[in-house]
Chains A and B, each alone.
Chain A
């Protein structure tokens, strides 16, 4: 240790100022994230005398955040393994919503369908949406990213943007260019239970009930299975992984498949939750989810989930505080502001490792 510290004094013993800066960047970010809820919590206490409005925002934020978490996992998986921002991922999520809605009529799911039929039908829809999106994601990788694997990093990012526009136009051809209301199959806004003035709706429960097992399955798969080990090895060093007999291309395809599966699930939940879909939903969702992934530390699965939940809360608070300056119009600007601040001041995210990008 002594010898090492002679060679690398800075690395071995960080100076006080460096430690202070690190603390500031970590807790500064947390303080910034807490600013919005705290500010509105205080204003609620003053105006209403209780916190139920903020509580409602947080519950809705957590369930919305569960959807963003699923999409964010796709970004994080892909970035972790090939260091590419899969720009088309948001559009894959959008296609998931569209596939889900199209299956409503195929399977004869209407508002009149009984509970059992609904559960079976929606499970089937979920599986089809997931498989479609997974396959789509793998195909995108094959066509647009694999040929450019050794090209400068700019190249695959540009094809990703290109594909995102192509998929948006597939959406336009499919369901038209405007927002489209779809049947509210599960009666999404029906309140299930009210705790201290905060109500939990069916949609909230659904989002958490689908997301939690999927996230559990994914983390178990990545940390326990043989293929998951191959993924982690490829993420660490593709060249060494290849030398160890891992088929790197297959592993990358598998990563895209997993990301697509999750995006498909998120797409269906989103359709059930919001009861409207449109071709442009993927763009905003993609950027929000990417913000979530960066916030948690890109490449880090737990981080993506955490980031998704936090972003969900921020977004809900901003969406629902119309009279006091914020509103749905400005929500994306606020989310993007957080994105810029995080990328610049803490590119490794809340709990992520130092990435190469952080330089």
Chain B
């Protein structure tokens, strides 16, 4: 027993629990039916984890409140729509363009690319979009950033909703209010084409691999020069700048990297849901992801993972399947599903007032966030303007 603290402190002690968790999460689908609701929920939850980790990087690490994160989901999903469906049926004199896809998809009109290429395309596209959206906010601080990003998110959403009218050269931006569907099943080199009608597990392992890659990148970034620069920026912009942190590059990197994660997840969700629907690109989605980050703990990687999994299951399982009938059973006339965003709003308020550092707080962020909370009242001096 006396060795236990030593073991905890050792390198293995830190890595081992993570390895055990990853192995368990990776292997459990083998012991379950290949197609069921739980599998579906798990896949969505992992996709949200990728997105929440991206947003955590922007909001949690760099302290830039991004309320328009849905824009990157939109761009990622649209990339899948453009490159894995018959939306651009005119291309290649109506025969289509095909790279690394199997026989069936290879015979369809439109652009059909291998999923790996789509993900790379989505990463490039969203990183550029993130940097472009970030550019105008460089001169701004605090809540103005939030509003400008929100406005961008809404602009992208509106454009996608009327995207069937935006078609330079006959290549539509989106399918408007109709969704882009069907989307090709995912194809990855050296594996058979996935088939979501018979087996969801390949999708699960794909998104799990994405989560692991993003987690690894996140942790390495946090402990890198860039990550320290982000945290310095968050804590005091002026001090960081005078210590030699290049503000423009650091901020743009935060936006671009955070956006790229959103794009990866968006590209996957587009392919998994087999449709890209512009009506999903709503402000509420940004708040859904933000609630995950805040619930888990701003700036805390593991907290964000927990928050994302928790809220994904609350949204996809607890609310529609368990709680939905409760009001009608006690004689009230409404569905809980209608109120899901109210519930997330409530989570935001409650967490911010009672436990702003989240479920699994990051140590430094906790100090920052709890400083001065709960002391607001008649006898305190307002320092909010500093």
Contact = CB atoms under 8 A, between A and B. Distances in A.
B346 A150 contact: no
Contacts of B148: 339-340, 343-344
Given A85-B147, A169-B341, A144 B353 contact: yes
Interface stretch (B93-101, B224-232, B377-385): B377-385
B65 interface: yes
Nearest to A339: B151
B173 to A, nearest CB: 13
B152 to A, nearest CB: 7
A339 B136 CA distance: 12
B384 A168 contact: no
Contacts of B283: 283
Given A154-B63, A340-B136, A242 B381 contact: yes
A161 B140 contact: no
Given A149-B380, A159-B353, A166 B345 contact: yes
Interface of A is mostly: helix
A159 B48 CA distance: 22
Nearest to B345: A165
A287 B369 contact: no
A171 to B, nearest CB: 10
Interface stretch (A27-35, A300-308, A327-335): A327-335
B62 to A, nearest CB: 12
Interface of B is mostly: helix
Interface string A119-152: 0000000000000000000000001101111111
A118 to B, nearest CB: 32
B345 A169 contact: yes
A319 B50 CA distance: 38
Contacts of B116: none
Given A150-B382, A155-B356, A169 B342 contact: yes
Contacts of A169: 338-339, 341-342, 345
Contacts of B150: 287
Given A161-B67, A165-B344, A337-B151, 11 more contacts: A150-B376, A151-B356, A151-B373, A152-B368, A162-B352, A238-B385, A287-B151, A329-B158, A339-B147, A344-B140, A357-B143
Contacts, number: 179
B162 interface: yes
Interface of A: 82-85, 143-144, 146-159, 161-166, 168-170, 172-173, 177, 238-239, 242, 247-249, 283, 287, 290, 329-330, 332-333, 336-337, 339-340, 343-344, 347, 356-359
B143 A153 contact: yes
A347 B373 contact: no
B349 interface: yes
Contacts of B378: 247, 249
Nearest to A239: B381
A344 B385 contact: no
A271 B133 CA distance: 36
A83 B341 contact: no
Contacts of A85: 143, 146-147
Contacts of A164: 345
A233 B59 CA distance: 33
B314 interface: no
A168 B376 contact: no
Nearest to B352: A159
A95 to B, nearest CB: 14
A336 B146 contact: no
Contacts of B346: 162, 165-166
B69 to A, nearest CB: 13
A333 B140 contact: no
B385 A356 contact: yes
A146 B380 CA distance: 11
B352 A148 contact: yes
